[in-house]
Every structure is written in structure tokens, then in C-alpha cells.
Structure 1
Amino acid sequence: MQKILVAGPTFPDVIERLKQYFEVDWNQGNALSGAELTQRLADKDGALTAGELINAAVLAAAPRLRVVSNMAVGFNNFDMGAFNAVNVLGTNTPDVLNESVADFGWALMMAAARRVVESEHWLRAGEWQKFQYDAFLGADIHGSTLGIVGMGRIGQALARRARGFNMRVVYHNRSRVAPQIEAELNAEYVSKEALLRIADHVVLVLPYTRENHHTIGAAELALMKSGATLTNIARGGIVDDAALAEALRAKRIGAAALDVFEGEPRVHPDLLAVPNVVLTPHIASATEATRRAMANLAADNLMAGLGEGPQAGHPPNPINPDVLGKARRS
């Protein structure tokens, strides 16, 4: 029987599915260190991960490893050059979380614009003594301009929500989407610089790559409107968190909302010191239905990649499909 590692906690019924086909080593405790991960992968044929770093050194120490299934859309924790060099398949879990993440992104954007968290802290501190006409004046969502950076599935889901708020939608993407999609979403393609100048609310939903590192830094923040909001539901590292904290402190933009951070779970201490930012711990996909769908899809990918289950040999979401059917290289 083939051996697999499930690198972190997940739903027990997903483990039971995997046990039908594999000998399962399940880490139910704290996150594995790099050394622990390498050690436990040494005799494994496959792995189910949720952000653990899999690089050339890890792959070299696990000569039997043939498939690594990431329970996430993003896979910047995978060194895909190293995967391809040794014919190891990587998979991810797109689509099943689109609507839940878009819902949460919308909630963060509104919370930032309307100063929900800031005002709640003030109330809990016992500061509310009387009605004040100018207390916590925020920014409207309805009738404003939404700027979406990254017009993939989640970006398009956000644009659909904007219709109900009578918003103008501008977007920037590596390439323009099809004209029929632009027409359906009533979305206008603009340069990144134009988007930052135009938008009242900027939402980031682009993948993390080397090229996208610090897509939003001090120079980009300086282009934004003084009352604008910035929401990041993409990946840490896309925003220069230190530059954002300084822009928020100086009130060069109105507010921000972040679900992802550089070096998470560490959060830049300057972000913790400013009141005009909403901070959440990478939970945009955290509904039970969505997380179950992600876990089951990750299991489907792993089973199929290792030649088991109803989709044997045909994993639903291969990142590097060219290695399918090829022998593992040493």
C-alpha cells in the first residue's frame, strides 16, 4: 500500500477516504518544521499540504514522492521548477472557494470603508456617551468605483457583486479578459496606475509570483485617493506591509483590510498600531462547506495522481500536467 503524509489537521472523514487507498501519516498537531516535514516525507509516495514549503531540498530527501496536493488555490509554497525537474506532480484546489472568498472580500472592503472594527473597539472601550453627527464618518460603497487587481474567477465574482451596489468597475489584469466577460460584468480594463488613481476601493485578487512581489508599495499607495480603501485577499507579499502601515498612519489613504500578510502568521507590528485597518487571520475561504470542498478536492487530486479512486490517473487540478505518467526522477 502506498504511503502518504497529511501535513496538518483536516476533517476526519477526509482522512477516512484516504485510508481506503493509502497508509496515512496524519499530523494532527502543530505545524511541522522544515526538518520535521522533510523527515516525515522521506518514505512517502504522496502528500497533502496546506501551505508547507516544498522545494528542491525537500524533494531530494523524499525519493518516492510523486504527488503533492495543496489544499489552496495558490501554490507559491511549491518550487515548480524543482517539481518539474524530478517529475513530481503538484495540484491545487481552484473554483470551489470563489464565491466564499468573494463574499469575505466584500465584507472586508465594507468593514474598512465604514470603519466597522474601529468603531466597535471604541464602543467596547466605553467611549460612546452620546450620538455625534461626525463620529466615524466613512466612505460609501454604493455608487463608488471599485478597482479590481486580478480579474480571475474571484475578481469576476467581486465584479458581479458590484452590480448590486451600482458601482463603476475598473480592473487591471496581466491580460484583458474576453470582451463578452467585460460586457457581462460592465468592467473596464485600465492600467494599474490609472486604476489606483480612479478607484475609491481597491481589491487585490492576483496570484503571488516573483513579479507580483510588492505590487502595492509606497509609490502605488501615493497614487491612491486620500479616502480610498485597499483590501488584500490574495497573498502576503503582494503588498509592502511596512509601506501600507506608514500610509495608514499618515492617512494618505482612508483605510485598509487585510486577510493575508508578509511572513504570516507574523503580522508587521506597525499594522497592529494603526486603527484604520481591519486584520483577519487568512480566513477568506473559512466556511465549513468551502473548507470541506477544498479538503475533498485535495484528496481527489492526491488519490487520482497516485492512480487510485474513480479518477485514477486523471487528477482534476494538475498544476504541471506535463509530468503526468512520467517516472519520478532521482
Structure 2
Amino acid sequence: MADPDRALGGYDPGAGRNVHAVGQPRLIPVPSLLRALLSQHVDPGYAAAAARRGSGAPPSVRTRILGWLWQAAAALLVATVFAVAVAQARSTAPGVRAEQQVLRQSVRSVETAIDELAGHRAALSAQVDDIQRRALADDAEGQRLLASLDRLNLAAASTRVTGPGLAVTVTDPTAGPNLSDVSKQRLPGSRQVILDRDVQLVVNSLWASGAEAISVGGVRMGPNATIRQAGGAMLVDNNPVSSPYTILAVGPPHAMRDAFERSPGYQRLRLLEASYGVGVSVSTDDGLVLPPAAIRDIKFAKQIGPQ
């Protein structure tokens, strides 16, 4: 049996050595990290500290009483901090509720003012359009100019459009009024399944299927309109829309439906329906009404293509 101080790393220098043999080579113990990891499960420092603790005398009554007093003081301090925090929260709660009420009223008043201004703008736009048509409808050149303006207004989504088309309704099974930040991952139990990229794919598929004008949630899709997601809110041209998402597309209804049912957007909707229980409805309508898009002032322009 080798001395403990010579058994470095669990290696016994006398292992396998014949003590009766004479002239045998002397074995030099070689430490092994692997043997140390397998045999020495406790760090030597921890073992020495445990040995000192075990060999020492038990703490005195005074030491135990001091330890209990320190623990009681710490518990009292923690309880005091929590009590002060609760008192402050209760004292500020009425003020917070009042501020929230003021903010809600301010938001409602601003929304009402925006709706009134939008209606006034639509009325003025209709008057301008009527004046233009009366002034230009007298000769052939004016009629050609009106036809060109109609095509440009349709491309810019600046006029109201009425006609037959396709109505696509997508319902999120977990939609709710809470618009707090959520991850953009489809996980079981998440609060949102329909994402912005799904709506974008459906809109692009409708354009490719022959749509002449499209609106999402009552918001007209124009050249500058975007569909994006900010937390749990779906924003269409910076206007929040919620489930069910209604996508209207004006165009030849039957031909557009046949093309749309073969498109990637429709396949994505059916996959979401089978995987997450999303509600999908596709129907034709002969009297769709699409509002005009928001008009933005153009400050910079660059010509593309030959002059």
C-alpha cells in the first residue's frame, strides 16, 4: 500500500511491483488529471475547510443569539421595504387611473378630429374631381386627359373604387384586445398566429391573380402603403387593424378566384388553417367598395427609364 501523499492523482506507485525482487527499476509516481477527476470528487480546499469545521467547537449561545438577531433584523428590513412599496403603489394608483382616463379621452378626441378631417378632405376631393370633369369633358383632348388621369388615380389608389371582386377573410383564433409585445414566432399557446408576412403574401397573390385595387381592413393599398407588425398590432399603412382581417380585391371575380386558389398565398392560408385553426373564407362579391388611400405630399422624385 503506497503512502497517501505519494498517490498523486489516484496513482499507486507500488501497484504491480514485486517487493521480493531485487534490482527492479524504481517506479516514479506520475500525476494523472483524468484519475484525479475520477477519484477526487471534492476539492482539497473544501475538504480541509469541512475538516476544520467538523473539528471545531460548537458556537456559543451568544453567537447563536447574535445570528438570530441579524436574521430578524434582515427580515424586518425586507418587510419594511415591501410595506413602503405597497403603500406608495396604493397612494399613486388613483392618479395613474386618472391619467389613463385623460389619455383615453385625448386619443378618442384626436381620432374623432382625424375622421372629421378625412371626411372633409374626401368631400373637397370629390368637388375638385367634379370640376375637372366638367371642364375637360367638352372636347376630345379633354376626354383623353380625363382617361389618363383615371388610370393614374387608379394606380395611385387616390380615388374610391366600386365593382365586383373577391373578399378574403382571415380570422386569428387567438386574437384578443391585448396589444402587448409578443414574439413573432408561431408557438403553441401564443396570442397571435397571423403575421404580417402572411397578409403580405396574400395581398401579393391577389395582385398576381388580376386584382385592380385592394384594401386590407378598410385601408386602401397604394404605392406607399406598407403592411408590418409592431408587437401584437398589425399595421396597414400605419393604421392598426385587428382580426378578422378582411382583404377586398376589385377585379374579375371568377377568374381571379381560380388564379388565387392556385397561388402561394392561398396555400399558406390553408396550411395555417390545418395547423393552427385559422379561419379562412374566400367569396365573390358584385358590390365591393374600396376607399381612397391617404394622399402624401411628394417632395423628391426621380425619373426611371428613358426620357
Higher Cα radius of gyration: 2
Same fold (TM over 0.5): no
TM-score normalised by length of structure 2: 0.19
More helix, by proportion: 2
TM-score normalised by length of structure 1: 0.18
